[in-house]
Structure 1
């Protein structure tokens, strides 16, 4: 069965009309001769944060399994909206959520790992429908409880689905057409990378690049699924980066809320690092005033749960902005408590890597947008207010 697997991130859905726009794109693909389409969707931009804030308003100690069940609502609602948009066009369509996708995980709620897949639910849905909408970032554990694969993990769902169906290409749509040498929202001179290797982009992701989820890239590499990064614009589709086994580029990443953990001794730090390594969490060793420490840039919420379970608690836990420069010969992390100063440093490093580079021709420096409709479900007392 020839199936196109497309993933649409939260930035693809800034308002309800965007579901119609994505629906029309899917219809155009079918009209052009493609056989079947699976569209994996994220929650509307900002929804997950609102849902989490409401949960923590009710109970600051809400269990991880309780949080997963609540946060999954965002993707479920998004899938329902896209199903409605596609159905309106007269196309046979259905949607599948984490309970019935056929993806099984362990019970590490908040950041569960894929342990097995069952292709039958997807295959059956595709036999009866031209389009299947799948909720991103969610699955079930062996007890049938809903689990989340981590924040921004819809990429992983899409790659897993492509692998389940035997497809060797997965298209990832976001607000940017591809992978850049830096975040163009922060570094206007960032350059588009036409082709990049799985290992390179996974390392960038682990150090703060948000264009692709690192565990999705790792899974794609293991199962030989090429990733095509795209953007759906008012002028059509823009393709920017192909992720395969080839390609490299120097880059600068910025992670605003990196966790900085100070340990009482080198032994305590080493024990903690072993624990984090066992759960595939990257931790960078740091030395600060003769005190051993670690810096964690990705999967921070899950890492903090692991840290809380250690027999030797850290001396302190703080946050900082981590600026990471990556190239063939070097991985260097700079920590700065001042965010604006960290951005300035990232721009300086990028200028050194790419002297004379200018902004890409797609326009002036882009502005990161958050959906004004993200509180369609609910908004907590501590959730950020909607933009005007």
Structure 2
């Protein structure tokens, strides 16, 4: 059967009514002749942070498997809400979570890696329903325990499902239609990149770009899945960037709150970097006033856990904002203690890369909206809901 695979990120679900908006879009596509749809969903914007904070309030050091199970409920809730919206439109629909998706991982809780897939559960659900909703970013390990694939890993779930259904494309929806030369919420004068290579956008992601998850891009390249970046607007779906095996552009990325460790020897630092590389965690070596330091750029929570498990003499010295210049021949990284200074530096770098034309007007740092229902699960004792 022909199946369309889509993914909607947390920025698509800022408010409860957004589930109805997405449901109507899917209904329109079915009415236009599309056969079957699998839609992967992320947690509502802000929910994962609230879930983690709630867990840490109860236990400062919860079991990793316990934390994974808690974080996964954010995506499960989104799947249930979208199922409710679609069934309200009379569309045959079923939602699946990590227990029933047919995706198996290892047991590296916090950022598990996929080991095998079985398309039969999703195919069986599609035979009985027009739409199947998948809770993103989760799987089960070989013992049947729920695992979390990492922050922003719903992209990975969508690409994996497209691959196992032998579809050659996957649509990824977010609050921007594609990959830009810098974060358009932070930097003025950014440009949309219409086509870009897997390797280029994966490198951008590993250094802070947030449109696509790097492990999803790597999986798409390995399985020849074209990624189509889109945004759902009041005028319908807008296509921005196509990710294939070619295309390049210079860019600047900003990664806030990246962990820095110091205090050990260079030999210990280099050994730790090798361990992080082995687990596909991007890190850089730093020489500063603290001596031989290391800064973790991607999968920060998982990387910190790896550091803690080594028992090295490296100690945390806080976090930094990392600004990275990338082009086809060069990668230059800057660490800043002050976030505003980091943004100013990123603006200067981007202006040098892409000088503004006369009369060009760009918005300066659009404020990201926080979901008004992000505390939906975490309100205790019937406390009133916070408004943002």
Find the residue that maps to 1:309 and give its secondary structure: helix
Number of residue pairs matched? 385
Q: Where do residues 295-314 of structure 1 align in structure 2 (5 Å cutoff)? A: 295-314=295-314
* 1:189–1:358 contact (8 Å) kept in structure 2: no
* Residue equivalent to 1:222: 222
* Residue equivalent to 1:318: 318
For residues 2 and 249 of structure 2, what CA distance do their matches in structure 1 show?
33
Shift of residue 299, structure 1, vs aligned partner: 0.4
Find the residue that maps to 1:216 and give its secondary structure: helix
Moved more, 353-362 or 74-83: 353-362
Shift of residue 317, structure 1, vs aligned partner: 3.2
Q: 1:287 to 1:357 in 2, by over 3 A?
A: farther
* Residue equivalent to 2:259: 259
Shift of residue 310, structure 1, vs aligned partner: 1.0
Q: 1:179 to 1:358 in 2, by over 3 A?
A: farther
The list of structure 1 runs, each at least 4 consecutive aligned residues, that deviate by more than 6 angstroms after superposition, is 358-364
* 2:185–2:364 contact (8 Å) kept in structure 1: no
Moved more, 80-89 or 285-294: 285-294
* Residue equivalent to 2:61: 61
Find the residue that maps to 1:284 and give its secondary structure: strand
* 1:192–1:241 contact (8 Å) kept in structure 2: yes
Shift of residue 274, structure 1, vs aligned partner: 1.2
* Residue equivalent to 1:328: 328
* 1:189–1:359 contact (8 Å) kept in structure 2: no
Q: Where do residues 1-388 of structure 1 align in structure 2 (5 Å cutoff)? A: 1-289=1-289, 291-356=291-356, 366-379=366-379, 386-388=386-388
Q: 5+ residue gaps in structure 1?
A: none
Shift of residue 258, structure 1, vs aligned partner: 1.1
For residues 12 and 75 of structure 1, what CA distance do their matches in structure 2 show?
13
Q: 1:358 to 1:59 in 2, by over 3 A?
A: farther
Moved more, 252-261 or 357-366: 357-366
* 1:190–1:360 contact (8 Å) kept in structure 2: no
For residues 23 and 359 of structure 2, what CA distance do their matches in structure 1 show?
31
Shift of residue 259, structure 1, vs aligned partner: 1.1
For residues 255 and 92 of structure 1, what CA distance do their matches in structure 2 show?
41
Deviations 1:104-127 (A, max 9, x none): 000000100000001110010001
* 2:189–2:361 contact (8 Å) kept in structure 1: no
TM-score (norm 2): 0.96
Shift of residue 290, structure 1, vs aligned partner: 7.4
Q: 5+ residue gaps in structure 2?
A: none
Find the residue that maps to 2:310 and give its secondary structure: coil
Shift of residue 368, structure 1, vs aligned partner: 1.3
For residues 360 and 24 of structure 1, what CA distance do their matches in structure 2 show?
36
Q: 1:317 to 1:3 in 2, by over 3 A?
A: same
Find the residue that maps to 2:343 and give its secondary structure: helix
* 1:57–1:380 contact (8 Å) kept in structure 2: no
* 1:188–1:359 contact (8 Å) kept in structure 2: no
For residues 66 and 359 of structure 2, what CA distance do their matches in structure 1 show?
44
User: How much is the aligned-residue C-alpha RMSD, in angstroms?
Assistant: 1.8
For residues 65 and 360 of structure 1, what CA distance do their matches in structure 2 show?
50
Higher RCO (C-alpha under 8 Å, 6+ residues apart): 1
Deviations 1:335-381 (A, max 9, x none): 01000010000000000000115899998864311111111111489
Shift of residue 28, structure 1, vs aligned partner: 0.7
Deviations 1:58-78 (A, max 9, x none): 000101100011111111111
* 1:191–1:359 contact (8 Å) kept in structure 2: no
* 1:185–1:368 contact (8 Å) kept in structure 2: yes
For residues 360 and 18 of structure 2, what CA distance do their matches in structure 1 show?
25
